[in-house]
Amino acid sequence: MDNPIGWARRALVLGSTGMLMSLCIELVNQGITVAAIARTPEGLDRLQLKSQGLEGRVVPMALDYHNLNRLSHWIAHFQLIEGPLDVVVAWIHPPAVPVLETIVAEVHAYRNMPWQLVHVVGSQNALNPFSWRPSPPAKYQQVTLGFKIESGVSRWLTDQEIVNGVYGAIVGGQEFSVVGTLTPWEKRP
Ligand SMILES: NC(=O)c1ccc[n+]([C@@H]2O[C@H](COP(=O)([O-])OP(=O)(O)OC[C@H]3O[C@@H](n4cnc5c(N)ncnc54)[C@H](OP(=O)(O)O)[C@@H]3O)[C@@H](O)[C@H]2O)c1
Atom 20 of ligand 1, residue of closest alpha carbon: 18
Tell me which H or E stretch contains 85: none
- Within-domain flag for 147: yes
Q: How many domains does the chain have?
A: 1
Tell me which H or E stretch contains 168: helix 159-172
What's the rounded Cα separation, in Å, for the pair 91 and 88?
10
- Within-domain flag for 95: yes
**pTM: predicted TM-score of the whole model, two decimal places:** 0.95
Atom 34 of ligand 1, residue of closest alpha carbon: 38
Per-residue pLDDT of the chain (189 residues; tens, 9 = 90+): 456 677 799 999 999 999 999 999 999 999 999 999 999 999 999 999 999 999 999 999 999 999 999 999 999 999 999 999 999 999 999 999 999 999 999 999 999 999 999 999 999 999 999 999 999 999 999 999 999 999 999 999 999 999 999 999 999 999 999 999 999 999 999
CATH number of the CATH domain containing 150:
3.40.50.720
Q: Is 37 in the pocket of ligand 1 (CB under 6 A)?
A: yes
Measure 38 CA to ligand 1 centroid, in angstroms: 10
